[in-house]
Amino acid sequence: MKRAAFGLLLALAGVSALAQARHQPPAYEVPGGDARRGRELMGDFGCGNCHAIPGIRGARGNVGPPLTRIGDRVFVAGVLRNTPENLMRWLQHPQQVVPGNGMPEMGITEPQARDIASYLYTLR
């Protein structure tokens, strides 16, 4: 009897966890970011010369990794945990994070990084 009650409790906890997961916002969201603007900025900065990027015309570069599903990636550049703050940090200062890597410092500002990160997080 006790065991059945415990089982029921576990089942209820599972159902409520599921329900919660469904109502939670996407895992990665950048507060205040504008994904549409980010997409335009990525065109302006020429990210597509080095990266294949879904949704950006002509973005077929193969210098860096494809940004396909970057919104689901666990790490950024293999070293930073993929969080909005870390992704923005990478975009602004890739040479500080991994000195000597192939991605240049492009003078991306914080608001620009916010918008670009918003777009990148739509890629899942």
At 72, is the secondary structure helix, strand, or coil? helix
Q: Which residue has the tokens 């009650």?
A: 5
Q: What is the smallest separation between the CB atom of 116 and ligand HEC, expressed in angstroms?
A: 5
Extract the tokens encoding 124.
């899942």
- Nearer Cβ to ligand HEC, position 5 or 63? 63
Q: What is the smallest separation between the CB atom of 24 and ligand HEC, expressed in angstroms?
A: 24
- Could you give the CA distance from residue 113 to residue 10 in angstroms, rounded to a whole number? 43
**Would you tell me which residues interact with ligand HEC (CB under 6 A)?**
42, 45-47, 49-51, 63-65, 67, 70, 73, 76-78, 91, 98, 101-104, 106, 116, 120
